[in-house]
Amino acid sequence: MDPVTALRRIAYLLEADRAPTYRVAAFRRAAAIIAALDPVELDRRIVTGSLTGLKGIGDTTAAVIAAAARGEV
């Protein structure tokens, strides 16, 4: 599963589980940020561990992105 799809799916599942709105919004915002990135830049940030340097990407969303990119999600 690609990282954008994984983030959107988590947002959907959180929303369905009635999680706080800010959590759902955080995953959707992270998906939008990653979708707008050049794939080469995304790969570079995953390899260097610098995803959290992007405004709107926190530790949890960065972990999801990296795991999805490795095919773990």
Tens digit of pLDDT for each residue in 59-69? 999 999 999 99
pTM, 2 dp: 0.92
Mention every residue, 6+ apart, whose C-beta is less than 8 A from residue 1.
9, 68, 71, 73
Q: What is the pLDDT of residue 73?
A: 67
pLDDT for residue 64: 97
Q: Which of 69, 70, 8, 4 is nearest to 37 (CA)?
A: 4
